[in-house]
């Protein structure tokens, strides 16, 4: 008799909990991140340019994926070092960008444009001007846009001793 009572009480207590435990076993729904919009890509590049001109390497490198590649060959660590040298050797940097096109895809975006960077070097007032075509491949990582790849060229006649994003001085 006592066993029946305990079994009945357990049954009465467990039955109301049954739907809760079944609901907890349903796998969570996986949401697909939203596609990158043209407006989002343009905002990202506006922020990228603003940080570039502030010359704060840590804040600037947040824009790059740890898997980023520059000009089809430089990995993240080398990209960081080149920008650090550019910032360290500059009194100021101006960055002008004309965007030609923004192609958006489900998981990425490609931005094509033309840049002009005006670098004022420390200790002498020397200015260098770099211009050419540029392309960014953007991706979303952990909810934020990141540069997966950046490729740029230089117009003929520009100073060849350094490139637009890194000063190779000394």
How confident is the model over 84-103, as pLDDT tens digits?
A: 999 999 999 999 999 999 99
Six-digit token string for 112: 């094509």
Phi first, then psi: what are they for 119, rounded to 5°?
-110, 125
Q: Total domain count for the chain?
A: 1
Q: Does 52 fall in a domain?
A: yes
| CATH assignment of the domain containing 56 | 3.10.450.50
Q: pLDDT value at position 125?
A: 75
Q: Does 42 fall in a domain?
A: yes
Q: Which of these, 82, 84, 80, 114, lies nearest to 97 by C-alpha position?
A: 114
Please measure the distance between the N-terminal and C-terminal CA atoms of the chain and give it in whole angstroms.
94
Q: Does 28 fall in a domain?
A: no
- d(Cα 99, Cα 111) in Å, to the nearest integer? 7
Rg (CA), the chain: 27
Q: Does 143 fall in a domain?
A: yes
| 25-75: pLDDT as tens digits | 555 556 677 889 999 999 999 999 999 999 999 999 999 999 999 999 999
Q: Does 65 fall in a domain?
A: yes
Q: Does 103 fall in a domain?
A: yes
Six-digit token string for 130: 């770099």
pTM summary value: 0.74
Residue 133 pLDDT exceeds 50: yes
Neighbouring CB atoms inside 10 A of 91's CB total 14
Residue 113 pLDDT exceeds 80: yes
User: Bigger pLDDT: 14 or 138?
Assistant: 138
Q: Which of these, 163, 104, 97, lies nearest to 137 by C-alpha position?
A: 104
Q: Does 18 fall in a domain?
A: no
pLDDT band for position 132 (cuts 50, 70, 90): very high
Q: Using an 8 Å Cβ cutoff, are 44 and 62 in contact?
A: no
Q: What range does the domain containing 69 cover?
A: 34-152
Q: Does 167 fall in a domain?
A: no
User: Bigger pLDDT: 86 or 125?
Assistant: 86
């Amino acid at each position: 008799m006592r066993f029946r009572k305990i079994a009945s009480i357990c049954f009465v207590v467990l039955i109301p909990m049954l739907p809760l435990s079944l609901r907890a076993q349903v796998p969570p729904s996986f949401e697909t991140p939203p596609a990158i919009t043209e407006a989002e890509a343009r905002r990202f590049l506006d922020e990228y340019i603003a940080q570039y001109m502030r010359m704060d390497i840590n804040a600037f490198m947040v824009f790059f994926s740890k898997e980023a590649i520059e000009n089809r060959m430089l990995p993240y660590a080398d990209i960081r070092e080149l920008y650090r040298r550019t910032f360290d050797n500059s009194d100021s940097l101006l960055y002008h960008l004309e965007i030609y096109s923004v192609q958006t895809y489900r998981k990425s975006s490609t931005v094509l444009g033309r840049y002009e960077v005006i670098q004022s070097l420390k200790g002498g007032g020397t200015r260098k001007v770099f211009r050419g075509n540029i392309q960014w491949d953007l991706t979303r990582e952990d909810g934020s846009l990141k540069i997966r790849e950046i490729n740029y060229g230089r117009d003929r006649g520009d100073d060849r001793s350094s490139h637009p994003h890194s000063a190779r001085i000394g």
